[in-house]
A and B are shown apart, each in its own frame.
Chain A
Amino acid sequence: MQVEAFLEQTADRLPDKVALICQGARFTYRQIAAQSRRLAITLRARGLRRGDRVAIFLDSSVEAVVAVFGALMADAVFVMIHAATKPDKLAFLLNDCRAAALIAHGRFGHLGAQAAALPPTLRQVIWVGAGAAPSGASSTLAMRWEEAIAPSLEGAAFTKEAIDIDLATIIYTSGSTGFPKGVMMTHLSVVTAATSITQYLENVEDDIILNSLPLSFDYGLYQVLMAFKVGATLVLEKSFTYPQLILERLGSEHVTGFPLVPTMLAMLIKTQNFSGAHFPHLRYFTNTAAALPPAHIAGLRERFPGTRIYSMYGLTECKRVAYLPPDQIDRRPTSVGKAIPNTEVYIVNAAGGRARVGEIGELVVRGAHVMCGYWERPEETARALRSGPLPGERVLHTGDLFKMDDEGFLYFVGRKDDIIKTRGEKVSPKEVEAVLYRMPEVLEAAVLGVPDAVLGEAIRAVIVPVAGATLTAQTVLRHCAQHLEDFMVPKSVEFRTALPKTTTGKIARREIQTGERALSLLESAP
């Protein structure tokens, strides 16, 4: 089965059902399927081939959803790019995946022009909405969205060749090296993950799911895929900027499923009208990306006694790993549960053997949802994917440290690398440090996460300025805001005269953060 079948089969079965509610507009499965099919026809007619990458640089909108399925129907691989991405990183991503097509909001037209180094592979750009006039390399075929999905295209055909072990998507994630790396997911991986998750969430056609997470984040993207798979309705919000707006929508649309990250709950729990009495239709919450503080779980249980809470754990490299059955949450609030259906997990200790009960080790994941590697990163792929029990099989070494209790429930302990988790997003300290080092006044820089009640971890930049240079926190933050997505911009800057070093002379990031980091790990341990 291929991922686009989620839409195609539901559109056959329930053509007039509302698939998507976005910005006050409602779209049926028939409409979404028709627009996606026409987009696929346009992409193919303009030279897109099986396996080509289609970059989607849009905020959460009907166009973004149609772009995903249009790319898949055209046998292409879609690549979501966060709408807050700055020009130099946009250029990096387009070049890294060697995009053949770009679908972007007209508002970002100036970024396209600034992204001087557009890849030579880019043969078509489709602009959505008003904004900048189509621009780009002279050989690029630019067109407007309305033309790309014009009803007159209906009926044109092309031969579909892709099979389910072909790539469906490349999802970029922060790499510990400082450069984002593309996680390659086949149709089979995506279908396996979506099937497992909708099974344990018991999703049905009557579900109405509200998503306010970006679609460049796999957690947000899968809300679309899973809703379409079961024939549910998705309420798609551009952002969580105004929690009151989200609450209003939860009530007025009779939402049954609400995916959260801890930062969202930290904000909602302060709001008085966030309680089960106001939202009687809400069947479940899900949480992933980072653990919910036990106090927030207790608060949620008290306010929503009839709503299930699913604590989950996963990583982009296999989408999802574990979930805690909701009836366990009062008993084991700090556990992320057990493996999801059709997945096997185990913990490997430092000696390479299976960890005993309570022993800390690295979590390893087996299943058809495991990625097939990082796009054109053989060394990093070899570190993450290693031999499994069957000939030729590869299992995922997560880089996350876990322990298991005597009943097999999993507890997250920490990460093997220095990746920061803020607002539910993974941030590589090296990526932020690389931007800091572009300032001539910066001699040495280290970036670390410090505990924060709302963000989980807040990013702090610790800087040693060049002798005689005058550098203020605001200058540093302004520079960061010009080059990094908003969630990567540090929340605080600290100036020092020296940073601790390892014996080989490298900056010892972990030594800078020992105090606060160690404390946060202790607090989150079971």
Chain B
Amino acid sequence: MTEALEATIRNFVVQNFLYGDQTRPLGNDDSFLETGIVDSTGILELVGFLEKECGLTVLDTEIVPDHFDSIARLARYVHRKKNGNVHAG
């Protein structure tokens, strides 16, 4: 479940923020902040993607590094959100 989710998110991140560049190393735990891959407008694109692809409603207060700052964190967030276990950051 989480692995499939991580693969979906990874695909979005690579296509949209790395423009399909598969050569650039990007670990599931790599921080978007530290690597500078995603900026604030990119975060909004990620929100749009999660809402459309995963059918979530993302609250403003949930858009925080704990939920958004790596592929693995995003996957965990989506997973918990679907199970109703998310507390705003």
Q: Which residues of A contact B (CB under 8 A)?
A: 83-84, 107, 238-245, 263-264, 267, 270-273, 423, 454-455, 474-475, 477-478, 480-482, 486-487
Contact = CB atoms under 8 A, between A and B. Distances in A.
Contacts of B38: 241
A481 B18 contact: yes
A244 B34 contact: no
A51 B48 CA distance: 50
B40 A242 contact: yes
Contact of B39 (A241, A271, A474): A241
B60 interface: yes
B60 A244 contact: yes
Given A244-B63, A267-B44, A239 B39 contact: yes
B73 to A, nearest CB: 12
Contact of A481 (B21, B32, B65): B21
Nearest to B21: A478
Contacts, number: 65
Interface string B25-47: 00000001110101111111000
A241 B34 contact: no
A455 B43 contact: no
A84 B36 contact: yes
5 contacts: A107-B34, A242-B33, A242-B43, A242-B63, A244-B64
B32 A474 contact: no
Nearest to A83: B36
A272 B60 contact: yes
A480 B17 CA distance: 12
A431 to B, nearest CB: 18
B15 A474 contact: yes
A270 B39 CA distance: 17
A242 B68 contact: yes
A263 B41 CA distance: 9
A210 B69 CA distance: 22
A241 B40 contact: yes
A109 B65 CA distance: 25
Contacts of A477: 19
| Chain B at the A interface: SS class | helix
B86 to A, nearest CB: 14
Q: For chain B, which range describes its interface: under 10, 10 to 19, 20 to 34, or 35 or more residues?
A: 20 to 34
B89 interface: yes
A482 B19 CA distance: 10
A238 B40 contact: no
Contacts of B32: 241
Contacts of B65: 242, 245
A241 B19 contact: no
B61 interface: yes
Given A474-B19, A478-B18, A482-B21, A245 B64 contact: yes
B20 interface: yes
Nearest to A458: B41
Nearest to A482: B21
Contacts of A240: 39-40
A410 B73 CA distance: 48
B14 to A, nearest CB: 10
A81 B73 CA distance: 30
A508 to B, nearest CB: 29
B20 A241 contact: no
A471 to B, nearest CB: 13
Nearest to B19: A478
A478 to B, nearest CB: 4
Contacts of B42: 241
A84 B35 CA distance: 9
A83 B41 CA distance: 18
Nearest to A267: B40
B40 A271 contact: no
B33 A239 contact: yes
B36 A481 contact: no
B18 A242 contact: no
A395 B69 CA distance: 47
B40 A273 contact: no
A270 B42 CA distance: 15
Residue from A84, A238, A244, A270 having most chain B Cβ neighbours under 10 A:
A244
A455 B41 contact: yes
B20 A244 contact: no
Contacts of B68: 242
B20 A486 contact: no
Contacts of A241: 32-33, 38-40, 42-43
Given A241-B43, A242-B65, A271 B60 contact: yes
B58 to A, nearest CB: 11
A107 B35 CA distance: 9
Residue from B15, B36, B44 having most chain A Cβ neighbours under 10 A:
B36
Contact of A244 (B33, B39, B89): B89
A244 B59 CA distance: 11
A475 B68 CA distance: 27
3 tightest A-B CB contacts, nearest first: A478-B19, A477-B19, A271-B60
Given A267-B44, A478-B19, A486 B36 contact: yes
Interface in B51-76: 60-61, 63-65, 68-69
Nearest to B64: A244
A270 B60 CA distance: 9
Nearest to A452: B41
